[in-house]
Chain A
Amino acid sequence: MAIEVRIPTILRTYTDGAKSVTGSGATLAELIDDLEANHPGIKDRLIDGEDLRRFVNVYVNDEDVRFTGGLGTSLGDGDQVVVLPAVAGG
């Protein structure tokens, strides 16, 4: 099961500069564990305790996971995951 994960500039130190990497997992939590196995250190930048870090937004097929079950959000083959820092609008 291949899931494309887009990595923001600020976290590419963990992916050897790659803008996008591939991972697997039936949930977002599993995907992040899988990313950690291949890109050690990245999990701690995404997760604080049991939850996503305050200034980290994760979208599955463009939808914010905080409204779809958080780390328990289920994933399927071909899903696209985007990680972005929270920034101001307005």
Chain B
Amino acid sequence: MRFDNLLDSVGGTPLVGLPRLSPSPDVRVWAKLEDRNPTGSIKDRAALKMVEQAEKDGLLRPGCTILEPTSGNTGISLAMAAKLKGYRIVCVMPENTSVERKQLLGMWGAEIVSSPAAGGSNEAVRVAKRLAEEHPDWVMLYQYGNPANALAHYEGTAPEIHADLPSITHFVAGLGTTGTLMGVSRYFREHKPDVRIVAAEPRYGELVYGLRNLDEGFVPELYDASLIDSRFSVGPRDAVRRVRELLELEGLFAGISTGAILHAALGQAAKAVKAGERADIAFVVCDGGWKYLSTGAYEGTVDEAEDRLEGQLWA
């Protein structure tokens, strides 16, 4: 496949069957390999779409500074696009993210502002909003509320899966900004409304939920609960267990959040088997495991890995 430049190659990722993890020939699980994007994560889709839309709207002009709260992948994707398009970029990132994410952001030329570990991404959002007020000329693309984030999946991810797997019955993805689920769900609600949309939400250690009060909670502006059919909370233990199974049984080396998504996907598979129904379950491999080697998730026992992930933003 040939492209004129790297940005043109975003999307068009493979969908691969997982015959060993699928419970039966009638209930099959399929992995959408989003780690095959230019910077190695699904966020390339949203980042590129948000930048293009902001350019179209006249918000982003040559020499502009982009600002974004991110736990890593969106920042890395934006930094790559910013480098190629000549923008400066400042990322606000919680300090309890893996060291590889910071290294990669730096490599692509992003400036990093650290936000406190307690409160996780909520704090990154808060700090970014404050910076945006202090620097009115900076352009915050704001992945949590930018419709272009969901649009990237409505126009890209969803039709790609539909074309490759017309018999799809379930779509399972991670719930962070909610962009992937919102965009893909909108597409299937229009084109194949019987597809069940399942969200897997990472459950972190207590530190991340250590808000000062409940009213500081956060629901992304993009989120529309009516576009989701079920939502599961998956802790680090199940995520690590599944991500290791994926490697062991199918040879796929994925990031920890993908383990959480696979866990929810296999839950749906088990349900279909029990109900005696056929199912084709597509789930998202958000990124590869490379960025998480330092977390210790892939070494030692599952107990040890679970302990090491305590307090980290692993998804």
Q: List the interface of chain A (C-beta within 8 A of B).
A: 8-11, 45, 53-57, 59, 62-64, 66-68, 82, 84-90
Contact B176 A89 (CB under 8 A): yes
- Contact (Cβ within 8 A) B174 A89: yes
4 A-B pairs with the lowest CB-CB distances in the bound complex, closest first = A55-B217, A89-B176, A88-B121, A90-B176
Query: What separation, in Å, do the CA atoms of A68 and B232 have in the docked complex?
Result: 11
Which residues of B sit under 8 angstroms from A68, Cβ to Cβ? 230
Q: How far is the CB of B195 from chain A (nearest CB, A)?
A: 16
Contact of B210 among A9, A89, A90 (CB under 8 A): A9
**Residue in A closest to B234 when the chains form the complex, CB atoms:** A62
B211 and A10 contacting across the interface, CB-CB below 8 Å: yes
Q: Nearest-CB distance from B261 to chain A (Å)?
A: 12
Q: Interface extent on B, as a size class?
A: 35 or more
Across-interface contacts of B143 in A (CB, < 8 A):
90
Considering the chains assembled together, what is the distance between the CA atoms of A89 and B177 in angstroms?
Answer: 6
**A90 and B177 in contact (CB under 8 A), knowing A10-B214, A85-B211, A85-B217?**
yes
Task: Across the interface, name the chain B residue whose C-beta is closest to A64.
Answer: B231
CA distance A82 to B235 in the complex (A): 11
Are A89 and B228 interface neighbours, CB within 8 A?
no
Q: Mark B198-214, 1 if CB is under 8 A from A, else 0.
A: 01011110101111111
Q: By the criterion CB–CB under 8 Å, are A90 and B234 in contact?
A: no
Residues of B within 8 A of A56 (CB): 214, 217
Contact yes or no, A88 B232, CB < 8 A: no
List the one stretch of B3-11, B32-40, B218-226, B300-308 in contact with chain A.
Answer: B218-226
Please name 11 further chain A to chain B contacts, defined as beta carbons within 8 Å, in addition to the given A8-B206, A66-B225, A85-B217, sorted by A numbering: A10-B212, A55-B214, A63-B233, A64-B199, A66-B231, A85-B211, A85-B214, A87-B217, A88-B69, A89-B174, A89-B202
* Residue B215, interface by CB 8 Å: yes
Q: Looking at A8, A59, A88, which has the most chain B CB atoms within 10 Å of its CB? A: A88
**Which of A54, A56, A57, A85 has most B Cβ within 10 Å?**
A85
Task: List residues of chain A with CB within 8 A of the CB of B201.
Answer: 64, 89
Contact A9 B214, beta carbon cutoff 8 Å: no
B125 at interface (Cβ–Cβ under 8 A)?
yes
Bound Cα distance A62, B235 (Å): 9
**Does the CB pair A89–B231 fall under 8 Å?**
no
Q: Kindly report which residue of chain A lies nearest to residue B263, judged by CB atoms.
A: A62
Interfacial chain B residues near A55, Cβ < 8 Å: 214-219
Which chain A residue shows the least CB distance to B215? A55
The verdict on B120 contacting chain A, using a C-beta distance below 8 Å, is yes
A54/B219 contact (C-beta < 8 A), A9-B209, A9-B210, A85-B211 known: yes
Q: Is the CB of A88 within 8 A of B120?
A: yes
Taking the nearest CB of chain B, how far is it from the CB of A40, in angstroms? 17
Contact A84 B220 (CB under 8 A): no
B144 at the interface (CB under 8 A from A): yes
Q: Is B315 an interface residue (CB 8 A)?
A: yes
> In the bound complex, what is the Cα–Cα distance between A64 and B234 (angstroms)?
11
Q: B312 on the interface (CB 8 Å rule)?
A: no
Contacting residues, chain B, for A85 (C-beta < 8 A):
209, 211, 214, 216-217
Do residues A45 and B71 form an inter-chain contact, with CB atoms below 8 A? no
Are the C-beta atoms of B231 and A86 separated by less than 8 Å?
no
| B-side contacts of A67, CB under 8 Å | 225, 228-231
Contacts of B212 in A (CB 8 A): 10
* Nearest CB of A to B27, in Å: 20
Quick one: which of B99-138 are within 8 Å of A by CB? 119-122, 124-125
